[in-house]
Structure 1
């Protein structure tokens, strides 16, 4: 074992010595000027292409100990024969696109809505470089445009008056927001279309595959009532044989009488205010009669004891929270039928925690304050979270 270890140590020492010699020869070769390398090549061909003869011929010029070694001479000759040059060739590097922050910054200042792809084409930069300049160098971020309901001039004073009424009630009772049952309907369309860009059929021949799409896709109309403690619903509007229908006066009143009022009694919801928007089926004479009979003067509606301002979906939690939240979840498993879609809607609504609904209702109080300060205008401070 000792002889084997000694042999292994000797081999390792020889390898380290060869490596050191190689590095030393490379260093000597790099120290030679181009004229000195040319001189070595001339001596090489003048002395019968013999490296040993060149080594001897260089002794009078460099001295006994300063002349290049035979390994260095051989490396110079080999380089000349294989690369046809005596110069040091630096490795080529890929030309990188110049990142001009100034040009991109000026482009953004001129047009903030231009896409990254269009901007990169206009500036002659690649897409990834343009993205890095925008995000990392300039520190700008992409923001989506916010869609809001168009307001008419006469809407502003009505919105301001409603905010003042709400803030007065909150001043009397800071928990007044818990006494309001907000209500609304929404349409959920059956998501049954095919995205042709993401659908491919592989084969040797054209399969002539088509999919027929209905002119009017199926949908279900859903009603919900939301308050700080929970959600009443969902209620799906259907006709006598169970087919999905839209809401009208008779169907709305049937929902109030046969669904909402029994549910409120079951949940022991007393001394509650009821809110609805100004849809015709809501404000029909018979519908208003049912509300007055059951809520007295404690309901909010167009033509009601407390007037609900028109075009104010930003003031009801169902529009600024519930419908968007539920629609972002119910299509994840791509329901193929209306019953499957309805099951998803019911499941997602039941899964909303009470703590979230409390925060949503509290947000309504903040909106009333912003609405008064904006004098009925859009709630920019909330929309853009200033």
Structure 2
């Protein structure tokens, strides 16, 4: 900016901070959307608003949690007059070899959350596992308990297991209502509160606890 205005960097900083009282903000990364993505989002979102009541929706998603503190070297700062004045517990971030990780499936609605489902270690969520252990044994009984006699409408993302024909057919035949892979807008993590809010909150909670094994991580459920 200073170069474009043909002035010194110091003068530009003075104008921005003192005269204009501006503060610097980092650019944010967002998902890229093509024109087709934008058009599809508008069309499908309008359709969903017409056909589904928001209070009945159950949003779902999976998240892989690494049980170790994440460090952002740019933003994670500790203030002090000198480095030696700062306690080691405040400035040091421990790193471990062979850190454990756990895959979690979660679902929430306006009525509350379903219990977290911790995926068996080493298991890849394919269509068979997803259908049997996530949908049949977990989602369906937990959703019925949460909603009682009221109808609910299930949303899932566009993961390969979620889009599988056998999964889509089961949802159609066994759930009161579900949003098919053809209805849900593609490239839309900003439409799922688990994606844009809940997982980030939980990651912060995980990072505040000293984990050495998966059992301690599962206490968050």
> Are 1:275 and 2:161 an aligned pair?
no
**Equivalent in the alignment of 1:302:** 181
CA separation of 1:154/1:179 partners in 2, compared to 1, >3 Å: closer, same or farther? Answer: same
Distance apart, 1:143 and its partner CA? 1.7
Distance in 1, matches of 2:39 and 2:9, equals 48
State whether structure 2 residue 130 is matched by structure 1 residue 266: no
Shift of 1:293: 1.7
Alpha-carbon deviation of 1:167? Answer: 3.2
Which SS does the other structure have where 2:157 is aligned? coil
What is the TM-score of this pair, normalised by structure 1? 0.46
Q: 1 CA distance for matches of 2:57 and 2:71?
A: 42
Aligned-pair distance for 1:234?
Answer: 0.9
Residue of structure 2 aligned with 1:313, choices 189, 201, 204: 189
Aligned to 2:91: none
Describe the superposition over 1:287-309 as per-residue Cα deviations: whole angstroms up to 9, x where unpaired: 1122012225x211314xxx111
Q: Distance in 2 between matches of 1:329 and 1:108?
A: 43
Contact 1:220 1:245 in 2 (8 A): no
How far apart are residue 194 of structure 1 and its match?
8.8
- Displacement of 1:319 in angstroms is 1.0
- What is the rounded CA distance, in whole Å, between the counterparts of 1:141 and 1:195 in structure 2? 21
Question: How far does the alpha carbon of each residue in 1:23-58 deviate from its partner, in whole angstroms, 9 at most, with x for none?
Answer: xxxxxxxxxxxxxxxxxxxxxxxxxxxxxxxxxxxx
Considering only CA atoms, is the larger Rg found in Structure 1 or Structure 2? 1
Mark the runs of 5 or more structure 1 residues left unpaired by the alignment: 1-105, 112-121, 171-175, 201-210, 347-386
3-state SS, counterpart of residue 341 of structure 1: helix
Structure 2 gaps, min length 5: 79-83, 85-94
Q: 1:290 to 1:333 in 2, by over 3 A?
A: same
Q: Tell me if the contact between 1:184 and 1:277 (Cα under 8 Å) persists in the aligned partners.
A: yes
Cα pair distance change 1:161/1:340, threshold 3 Å: same
User: Which has more helix, going by share of residues?
Assistant: 1
Supply the distance in 2 between the matched residues of 1:108 and 1:232 (Cα, whole angstroms).
55
- Deviation string for 1:115-153 (max 9, x for gaps)? xxxxxxx7469xxxx5x7644443112223222112233
1:230 paired residue number: 112
3-state DSSP of counterpart to 1:300: coil
Q: What's 1:107 paired with?
A: 2
Among residues 16, 19, 26, which one is paired with 1:144 in the alignment? 26
Q: Which of residues 90, 95, 101 in structure 2 aligns to 1:219?
A: 101
Q: How does 1:119-198 map to 2 (within 5 A)?
A: 123=9, 134-169=16-51, 176-191=53-68
Contact in 2 for aligned 1:237/1:251 (Cα 8 Å): no
Query: Does residue 1:333 correspond to 2:209, yes or no?
Result: yes
Equivalent residue number for residue 249 of structure 1: 127
Match of 2:26, SS state, is: coil
Could you say which structure has the greater relative contact order, defined with CA pairs below 8 angstroms and 6 or more residues apart?
Answer: 2
- Asked if residue 290 in structure 1 is aligned to residue 167 in structure 2, the reply is no
Q: For each residue in 1:182-205, what CA deviation from the matched residue of structure 2 results, as whole angstroms up to 9, or x when unmatched?
A: 111111112168999x9x9xxxxx
TM-score normalised per structure 2: 0.76
Root mean square deviation of aligned Cα: 3.4
- Distance in 1 of aligned mates of 2:112 and 2:162: 22
Equivalent in the alignment of 2:92: none
Contact 1:223 1:235 in 2 (8 A): yes
